[in-house]
A and B are shown apart, each in its own frame.
Chain A
Amino acid sequence: MSAPVPVRLKICMAGDATVGKTSLIRRSVLDEYDDRYIATLGTKITKKVMSVQDPKGAGLVTVHAILWDIMGTPTLRDLLKEAYYHGAEGIFAVADHTRKETLAALDAWARSIRSVAGDIPTLGLVNKQDLDPDPRFAPGEIEAFFEKRGWPWLYTSAKTGAGVEEGFGRLVETILADRPSLKPDASGDGPRRPS
């Protein structure tokens, strides 16, 4: 008997530059963190293999989450939205706990993605929890922001790893629960990517 074919999910990382999108992927996939900042140009694609509970049946399902780490350049966002967001099934909306403006910026990112991919599950990640928050945040402001949009969210730290695995698990489970049926992918792989 052959092994179950994995389910492939395309997930996009959204958010302004330097909020930590690349670092979150690196922490999640490699369990590593690097303090140096290297700006992402274009997109980097990483596959994360996960085993999660099948929300529509008993047992576990293998998921190949194809993570699109997209550069946080707002001026090119709409020009490139079809290139990047076509076929996306979930969004990580990443803000920086130390920069208040990155939270409000998530609306434009989510709007751009949804204009291409539709109303797909979105999970807010407020990253850099290990650092002091931006003092301009009013008490309860972050909670209110996500509650108003109906997006679940959590604090994360790519540096310490806090919240990272929980975030990936929650978004994948939400996507699977929203799917009409678990449609396996023939290859389980994303598009080929130069190393």
Chain B
Amino acid sequence: MTWFLGFPRLAVLSSVRVPRHIRRGIAWPLAESPEGICVTAFERPDTAVIVRQRLLENAEDIDALFVLAALHANDGDVAEGITVLNHVLRLDPAYPGAWRFKATLHRMRGENDAERSAWQRAEAVEP
């Protein structure tokens, strides 16, 4: 059993919402369109799927963790978003945008002092 943020790793990763129809993260030719024109396109997989893949490869992929925090917040679990974001900031206290995002999340929770503190850190890191 491997652990991640204090939870069994797979349990955490499985908390990322994954759409029923998982698309592959590769380029492939689309089927012929109704007009009979064959087109080639890049289909980007769902962001949650990419995050999950990256974290399975490297549980401390900082970019994936940052987006995981955003996915949690976007799903309404702002507290979990802050928890993951704090982990990001422990890994890299100067991660671009992280302090301002933390300020945003604290504001969403009505935590004014924490918001102000995070914003001040952001100003120091990214003036």
Q: Name the A residues within 8 Å of B47 (CB-CB).
A: 39, 41, 71, 73, 75-76
B33 to chain A, nearest CB (A): 10
Give Cα A33–Cα B122 distance, bound, in whole angstroms.
33
B67 to chain A, nearest CB (A): 5
Give Cα A99–Cα B42 distance, bound, in whole angstroms.
10
Which of A72, A76, A84, A86 interacts with B74 by CB under 8 Å? A76
Q: Name the A residues within 8 Å of B71 (CB-CB).
A: 76
Q: Name the B residues within 8 Å of A169 (CB-CB).
A: none
In the assembled complex, 5 residue pairs joining A and B whose CB atoms fall closer than 8 Å, in A order, are: A37-B42, A41-B63, A75-B47, A86-B126, A194-B92
Which of B25, B101, B126 interacts with A39 by CB under 8 Å? B25
Contact A79:B74 (CB < 8 A) given known A39-B45, A41-B67, A99-B41:
yes
Grouping DSSP codes into helix (H, G, I), strand (E, B) and loop, the A interface class, with mixed when no group exceeds half, is: loop
Q: Name the B residues within 8 Å of A191 (CB-CB).
A: 94, 96, 125-126
Which of B64, B74, B96, B104 interacts with A45 by CB under 8 Å? B96
Return the CB mask of A75-106 against B: 1 if under 8 Å, else 0: 11001101110110000000000110000000
Return the CB mask of B90-115 against A: 1 if under 8 Å, else 0: 00101111101101100000000000
Return the CB mask of B66-81 against A: 1 if under 8 Å, else 0: 1100110110000000
Give Cα A194–Cα B64 distance, bound, in whole angstroms.
13
Which of A39, A83, A87 interacts with B50 by CB under 8 Å? A39
| B51 with A41: CB separation less than 8 A | yes
Q: State which residues 4-29 of A face B: CB under 8 Å.
A: 17-18
Q: Name the B residues within 8 Å of A80 (CB-CB).
A: 70, 97, 101, 104
Pairs of residues from A and B, 6 with the lowest C-beta to C-beta distance, nearest first = A83-B97, A83-B101, A41-B63, A17-B44, A42-B63, A18-B42
Question: Does A148 interact with chain B (Cβ within 8 Å)?
Answer: no
Residue of B nearest to A19 (CB): B42
Q: State which residues 144-195 of A face B: CB under 8 Å.
A: 190-194
| B44 with A39: CB separation less than 8 A | yes
Give Cα A101–Cα B101 distance, bound, in whole angstroms.
29
Question: Does A62 interact with chain B (Cβ within 8 Å)?
Answer: no
Give Cα A183–Cα B101 distance, bound, in whole angstroms.
27
| A82 with B67: CB separation less than 8 A | no
Q: Name the B residues within 8 Å of A39 (CB-CB).
A: 25, 44-45, 47, 50
